[in-house]
Chain A
Amino acid sequence: MSPSDTALRDPLTPRPTLGRPDDYLHSEHTLRSWLLTHDHKRIGILYLLSITFFFIIGAIAAGLVRLSLIVPNGMIFSNDTYNRLFSIHGIVMVWFFLIPSIPNTFGNFLLPIMIGAKEVAFPRLNLLSWYIFMVASLFTLADVVIGGVDTGWTFYAPFSTTFSSAWVVPALIGVIVVGFSSILTGLNFVVTVHTMRAPGMTWFRMPIFVWTMYATSLIFLLATPVLTITMLLLLMERGFHIGVFNPAIGGDPVLFQHMFWFYSHPAVYIMVLPGMGVISEVVPAFAQRRLFGYRFVAYASIALATVTFLVWGHHMFVNGMSEYASIAFSIMSFVVAVPSAVKVYNWTATMYKGAIKLRTPMIFAMGYVGLFVVGGITGLYLATLGVDEHVHDTYFVVAHFHYIMVGGTSIAFLAGLHYWWPKFTGRMYPEPWGVVAALFIFIGFNATFFPQFILGYLGMPRRYHEYPPEFQILNVLSSVGATILGAGYLFPMIYLVWSLRFGDPAPANPWDAKGLEWTIASPPPEHNFARVPQVDFEPYDYSEREQRT
């Protein structure tokens, strides 16, 4: 037990100020020391606070959308207000929560530690990335809340460039600028992984979380510039009437869709891969088993990051794109499912003959696998041309991607948050409350989104403020589910904050988990490792326990 643990045990005991190495949380206390920090751990915490804030905003907008949909005649909000609400929800959740969620919080905090480094490659750039994120996101938030944007997060032209009378330009600028934050983070991670690994930390000794961070960073670097260009072209058309997308001034009506999805499909994997990384840490730890098929899972991460660039056309099967292009995009989308399937089967096999502890992170992880599977399979339905012609742009699609993004990414985020909470804060969260939250979220989530599959197959288009009365019961069910889901999210917000003061002090390795982050104190010292670790062991080296039995 490290000195900091003993010091933290009783919050009333005055902390010794001399003669012990301070952990990163207590090394300095001023606000300035946080706002100007170069410590990747503190930057991770800054991101954690920021994205939680944006999650709350996005969730409130979602709640209002679900409120509106309780009645079919749209009498609760006006049509424009409704359109603004779902645009706030989409823009905030995608750009200011989902994309930065795991990479910028857990990635910043853990990636260097997991490879035995004391820092990321470019600490100052890392801080700059956070500032860019904050400026862009607060600016955009002010725009979408005060001004209002009614384009949805997809900004389809020529509606966004010519016909919308909302405050589109500031939102575009915000999205362009926040992209640079992603690019800087991606660059930082790629260089860190290449150059800062501890002696003995070969590529195939890196935890899968690091592999997925690496793959995600590649997508950040390769895809984000395309988004930047696309948004700049929108700006040019909207601001200066330079015809790019609007045929009335010489543009092409479907070009925007091509460019947008060329970024936004890979962006799906920016949101999905990190979640997979988290689950690949949590499952072995709570099964006390080596991750099954480690190399396959590592390769699958890179495969996903590659093939994901070849499937954007599956968002465009019904826009008049040539039949052969559609068929090619359809089969590529089937191919991209293979690496995901590999991971799901591997997680399941990891549990075989384990010694399974159903603690909160594991419960979240198992929920993740179940929901991710549903999201993945329904994604294959959508890649099936004959089905997509029917359910494209309906609630079926909405349900599908929420199973991936909420059931997948944000549940993985919660799994990781509980798993590493002791490491981040030096405190344990209250276990029973964690289980309660997980159950609320799992039940609420399914009650919200499963009815939407049916609604979609019935033909309810997405982004509908009013809808036919025969869809009402399912919509009400979905809104009730959203209430349960919302309550489920409230629990961790309360008990995690509570645990900061009243939680049990965390030992260095509360889960008996493997990985370098569990070899150092909780919370970690300012420079992570007193001595550079020598890595002479495989990842997920739970064989000790395996031999015991």
Chain B
Amino acid sequence: MNLSQYPLLLWPPAASAIAQETDWLILAWTALALLLVAPVFVGMTWFAFHFRAGRNVHRGVREGRNHLLEVGWMVIPFVLTLIFFAWGARVFDEDWHPPAGATEIHAIGRQWMWKFQHPGGQSEINDLHVPLGQPIVISEISQDVIHSLYIPAMRIQMETLPDRYTRLWFKADRPGVYRMFCSEYCGTDHSKMDGELYVMKPADYEAWLAHAGTADSLAAEGKVLFSSYGCAGCHLPGATVRAPSLAGVYGNPVPMADGGTIVADDSYIRDKILDPDARKVAGYKQIMPSFKGQIPEDRLVPLIAYIKSLGAPNAEPNGEPTP
């Protein structure tokens, strides 16, 4: 499909069920809006002509205020619009919670390009290939300013923040090529920070992966980094210093030295690597050095993927991320 084949586009393609629902939402909203503003437009036009000065029409006015009318036209429209508040919140809620088993793709934004990393270790610049029918979570982080990953065909966007993971998800149900943009102004070439989203049939996607494939999966790549950055020297069994084993840490609660627990997710591990003193783990002497400024975002991603892959304690890392 050639994206710019239309000289004039009036409605964007919708490539997911949520995108279609968003369209229905805005259309229904517009229907109600027209109903609510019709009295204003019709009334104003009609009054302007019917009651124009010098025209002899009945203008007898009853004195006194009409409280019922004044309260009524405040309350009834408000209650009607709340339908759309609720509907919008429902769609938002759905967008907020990706289904279990979604494939996680990492997006790293920086002035002025996107880098996407697939779980299999394949990475691509600006464009993104995804399989049809499979929920995709995109975990985003920025290396510099705030960007925002926007996929109009999915009716979704999420800001890409420095130092903080955000995510969006979608499940494409129409194959095709769609546009992606950076929607948060980020400087000189903001408008060139765009790309194309290829939604492919699963078989084609597999073929694409194989073609683009690197030798290593993301987790395997992370394993190499884990040694080269010296993490292994402390964290692997048999190390001379006392550091927690990272097997089974991901997704489980970690007791903190100052009391309380934190569930170890991507942000927790990222924070630990960059600023290990911020929250200390109970039962250990904090000797881990900070890697701030040494490990770029696109290497943190495989490192975290590796730690994530260290499923249960003592289990051999299999290189595949656990869902």
Contacts and interface: CB of A to CB of B under 8 A. Distances in A.
| Interface residue SS majority, chain A | helix
A138 interface: no
Contacts of B164: 247, 253-254, 320
A472 B183 CA distance: 18
Given A351-B51, A387-B22, A459-B12, A369 B81 contact: no
Contact of B59 (A355, A385, A390, A457): A355
A163 B92 contact: no
Nearest to A357: B53
A353 B25 contact: no
Contact of A246 (B148, B162, B179): B162
Interface in B1-57: 3-12, 21-22, 25-26, 29, 33, 36-37, 39-41, 43-44, 47-48, 51-54
B181 interface: yes
B95 A389 contact: yes
B179 A392 contact: no
Interface string B164-188: 1010000000000001011111111
Interface in B183-209: 183-192
Interface in A318-364: 318-320, 323, 326-327, 330-331, 334-335, 337-338, 341-342, 344-346, 348-349, 351-358
Contact of A352 (B47, B73, B158, B179): B47
A345 B73 contact: yes
B156 interface: yes
B11 A334 contact: no
B133 interface: no
Given A79-B189, A320-B161, A357-B52, A342 B44 contact: no
A462 B111 CA distance: 17
A170 interface: no
B146 A454 contact: no
B155 A390 contact: yes
A470 B177 CA distance: 14
B3 A163 contact: no
Contacts of B166: 319-320
- For chain A, give the interface size range: 35 or more
Interface in A464-490: 464-474
A351 B48 contact: yes
Contacts of A28: none
Given A348-B39, A392-B157, A386 B25 contact: yes
B77 A341 contact: yes
A382 to B, nearest CB: 10
A253 B88 contact: no
Contacts of A387: 22, 25-26, 29, 88
Interface residues of B, number: 84
B26 A459 contact: no
Contacts of B181: 459, 461, 464
B191 A471 contact: no
A323 B91 CA distance: 12
A433 interface: no
A348 B51 CA distance: 12
A319 B39 CA distance: 38
Given A158-B145, A320-B159, A384-B29, A457 B12 contact: yes
B44 A461 contact: no
A344 B40 contact: yes
A390 B18 CA distance: 11
A293 B185 contact: no
A471 B9 contact: yes
B65 interface: yes
B146 to A, nearest CB: 6
A381 interface: yes
Contact of B12 (A162, A351, A458, A472): A458
Interface of A: 74, 79-80, 83, 150, 152, 154, 156, 158-159, 162-164, 246-248, 253-254, 287-289, 293, 296, 317-320, 323, 326-327, 330-331, 334-335, 337-338, 341-342, 344-346, 348-349, 351-358, 366, 369-370, 373-374, 377, 380-381, 383-390, 392-394, 454, 457-459, 461-474, 546, 549
What are the 4 closest A-B residue pairs judged by CB atoms, nearest first?
Answer: A459-B152, A386-B91, A247-B163, A384-B88
Given A289-B61, A345-B40, 5 more contacts: A351-B44, A354-B59, A357-B53, A384-B88, A471-B9
10 contacts: A338-B74, A351-B51, A355-B52, A356-B48, A356-B52, A358-B52, A457-B11, A459-B179, A466-B191, A473-B7
